[in-house]
Structures are given as structure tokens and as C-alpha cells.
Structure 1
Amino acid sequence: MKLADASKLLKERGFKNTPKRYDMLEYIFRQNKYVTARDIQQALKDKYKGLSFDTIYRNLSTFIEVDVVEVTELDGEKRFRSKCSSSEHHHHFICLDCGNTKSIYRCPMDNLSVDLPGYTVQSHKFEIYGLCPECS
């Protein structure tokens, strides 16, 4: 997904494209990694003095609701990234040092029916954590 597509989707869903909301979204889309609310606050602190976590989390909730941002939890903290442009089912490798992500297109759920006969899986989430080649 591209930033312009995300902005358009927000507008179509009835959310205003305020400068602050756009700048938050732009920051998230510029990253190739999951970011924290603190990262967003630090990136925008000079432009928006007194930008509160309340405002950041309220907007992040909106981004998640509209499905333009993905969320994960790492070390007990929520982290956010732009929705992947690929509509193909995939998962992510997340570097524990730099936070960069890499898409993984093989799904471990593909062979799970052997281990769960008779069960109906409705959803799943799978992430791999480690160090990328640059951080190893």
C-alpha cells in the first residue's frame, strides 16, 4: 500500500486528512520497520510541540481500524508499520536490533492440518525475530 492510497482510504471511510494525521502516516510509511508511538513522537516533536501519546494512539487506532497500518507487540510494547503492498498472504521476519522487516511468503499453517485434525483455524499470526544480515 502506498501513502496516497492510505490517505484516500481514510477519507473514503469518513476521516479527515489533517496535517498531523498525514505527517504521522507519512512517517510510518517512510520506515521499513515497525515503529513505536515514542518513535513517532520523536520524529514529529519539532513540528508539533506537545504532541501527546493520546493523540498518537488515537490516530494509530484509526489507522488500524481503516487497515492502513499493521500492529505487532515486541518486548511488551505495541509497534506499528505501514500495511504491506502485497495482497498475498505472508508473514514477517523482524530484526531485533534495527527493526527492519522482511516478508516471508511460506506459511507454517499450510501443513498444520496434520497436527490439528478436526479443528477450524479462523486466524493466525506468525512472526520470526532475530538479526538481519546487516546486524549479525
Structure 2
Amino acid sequence: MTGASVEKAIQLLKEKGYKYTDKRQSMIELFAQADRYLTAKEVQKYLKQTYPSLSYDTIYRNLYSFVEMNILEETELSGEKMFRFSCSLDGQHHHHHFICTKCGMTKNIHMCPMDFFKEQLDGCEIQSHRFEIFGTCENCLKVS
């Protein structure tokens, strides 16, 4: 992700009335650099280095605020919520993801299955959709 994407995210925070803090910027920068899904525990482990008193609850509240503002995307894997930097902030067009269940790495899928489903749902109004494929990436397969 680019520095411009981080700046867009921080601008969104301000537009929505959230106070700018170094902690929030650090969270956003972490996701922009990671370019994969992260758990709240991974975020806490990273931020504890700089902000040892930062609580897990504060991290979780911020993660969900970021999701509401479309700064982060969320998914669930094995009953645990995971978050990644929103592709829309980086100017990417509509796409879906392959998500590695071992390391959280994501790959963009540049086709959308909705054309098929629209035909099946004639007369219905589709308001949104999400398509994710879960599996093991080539790097994790090499290690196994």
C-alpha cells in the first residue's frame, strides 16, 4: 500500500469526527505495510512494542471503527475475526480475495462470480456481496 492510502485513511478518520492519535496512525500503517489479514492479537503484539499500556479492548474498538469507515475489511477464519487494509483506499477496482488460512496472505481474484448469480436471482435486488476463497498459499505449502 502507498503512503497516499494511509493519508486517505487518516483523512477519513478526521472527516468522521475521530481524533487523530499516533496509536491510530500506527494501526493504519501496520495494515498498509502488512498487506494481509491480521488478527486483533497480532495488532496488539505489534503495538505493545511502542504502546505497552494499550488495551486489547481499545484495539478492538478501533478495528471495528475502521471497518465501519471502510478503512479496513474484515473476515472470519476459524471463528476469529481478521482485518486487512481496505483495497478501495488504494484505488483498486472491484475484486475478491484468496486468503491463506495459515499465514493470512491474500491474493486478488480479478473476476466476479456475481454475473452468474444475478441470472439466478432475477427480480431480486442485490445490495452487496462478498466472495472469498480460503486455502493454503504456495509458500505455506512448501513449508508443510
Per the normalisation by structure 2, the TM-score is: 0.86
1:121 Cα deviation (Å)? 2.0
Give percent identity, aligned residues only.
50
Q: Give the partner amino acid of 2:19.
A: K
Which residue, 109, 112, 120 being the options, matches 1:115? Answer: 120
Per the normalisation by structure 1, the TM-score is: 0.91
Task: Find the aligned partners of 2:14 and 2:118 in 1 and give their Cα distance.
Answer: 41
Aligned residues: 136
Which residue, 60, 66, 90 being the options, matches 1:57? Answer: 60
Q: CA RMSD in A?
A: 1.5
Which residue, 32, 37, 41 being the options, matches 1:38? Answer: 41
Q: Which is further off, 56-65 or 113-122?
A: 113-122
Which residue, 100, 107, 131 being the options, matches 1:95? Answer: 100
5+ residue gaps in structure 1?
none
**Which residue of structure 2 lines up, in the alignment, with residue 11 of structure 1?**
14
5+ residue gaps in structure 2?
none
Task: Find the aligned partners of 2:17 and 2:79 in 1 and give their Cα distance.
Answer: 32
The alignment partner of 2:36 has SS state of coil
User: Where in structure 2 are the equivalents of 1:117-136 lying within 5 Å?
Assistant: 117-136=122-141
1:117 Cα deviation (Å)? 3.0
The alignment partner of 1:79 has SS state of strand
The alignment partner of 1:128 has SS state of strand
